[in-house]
Amino acid sequence: MIILRSILFNTAFYANLIIRMIVLTPIYFLMPRKAAYAIPKAWAKSSTWLMEKIVGTTFEIEGLENLPKGSFIFAPKHQSFWDTFALLPYLDDPVYILKRELLWIPLFGWYAKKQRMIPVDRSARGKVMFDVLKRTREELATGRQLIIYPEGTRRPPGAEPVYKYGIARMYRDLGIPVVSVAMHPGLFWPRRTFRKYPGHIKVRILPPIEPGMDPDAFFARLIEETERASDELLVETVANNPHLPLPPTAVQRLAEIGKTKPVTAAV
């Protein structure tokens, strides 16, 4: 049933995405930019609804009251494609710094440009990065929220954290709060596989780290608070979803923090 439900969900998920982008494109581009955000946010809600109805995966969010008003850096753990869209409806006007190549994708790139997403050439240095920071300040000045994945790329649940120092530089240069987010959607929507698993995802939004700290002290605090919450949620999520096949990284991490689960690691 896992395989069948996964196939049905993947088909419905991408059909929902493509059909919405094609059918709603004229409306999207006629609407004012911020108002048009309702269309991708509605797609995000419909996608989590499809996952609930087809796969049997639900989710809840703790700590929405920790989101500040106005501009801040939103810094979630990144394990899955799920966490790139599922939280969008809970942010007022989010903006991403993304690889410039993504803007070349038909339809998706057009949608991203409409929302003034900030492209960056990751191989570039110097003036290009200065221009990215300038663009970011311009967007944040209008009250937007900047989404940054502190580890840069998807990491499997329980994997040793590899935070990039760039978020500390952003924290220093932008002077706005940083809100970190712990969660383990990678247990339900793993990377590099089409399989999806039923269960309950818990997302924990942590209290904001206010601006003004030394960047090194901020960086250490961000890692400590996020990883402590991640460990707590890993134990809780595995206990509440005993059917889940765990990746080796999660099995190892549970052993390191003194928790075990009588299952074989997923291959």
Report, as an integer, the average pLDDT of 70-87.
96
pLDDT at 126 over 80: no
Q: In sequence order, what are the residues at sequence separation of 6 or more whose Cβ sits closer than 8 angstroms to the Cβ of residue 253? A: 157, 158, 159, 231, 234
Q: Which residue has the higher pLDDT, 96 or 266?
A: 96
pLDDT at 67 over 50: yes
pLDDT score of 37: 96
> Mean pLDDT in the chain?
92
Domain ranges of the chain: 60-253
Report, as an integer, the average pLDDT of 148-159.
92
pLDDT score of 123: 66
147 three-class SS: strand
The pLDDT tens digits of the residues spanning 135-153 come to 999 999 999 999 999 998 8
Q: How far is CA 113 from CA 101, 102, 110, 229, in A?
A: 12, 10, 5, 34
pLDDT score of 1: 87
Please report, rounded to a whole number, the percentage of residues in the chain having pLDDT higher than 70: 94
Report, as an integer, the average pLDDT of 201-213.
97
Quickly state the pLDDT bin for 267 (edges 50, 70, 90): very low
Report, as an integer, the average pLDDT of 100-124.
85
pLDDT at 203 over 50: yes
pLDDT score of 263: 41
Nearest to residue 164, comparing CAs of 238, 229, 104, 78?
A: 78
What is the reported pTM? 0.91
Q: Which helix H or strand E contains 120, and what residues bound it? A: strand 118-120
The pLDDT tens digits of the residues spanning 86-98 come to 999 999 999 998 8
Report, as an integer, the average pLDDT of 169-182.
96
pLDDT score of 41: 97
Nearest to residue 155, comparing CAs of 117, 195, 183, 196?
A: 183
Report, as an integer, the average pLDDT of 166-174.
93
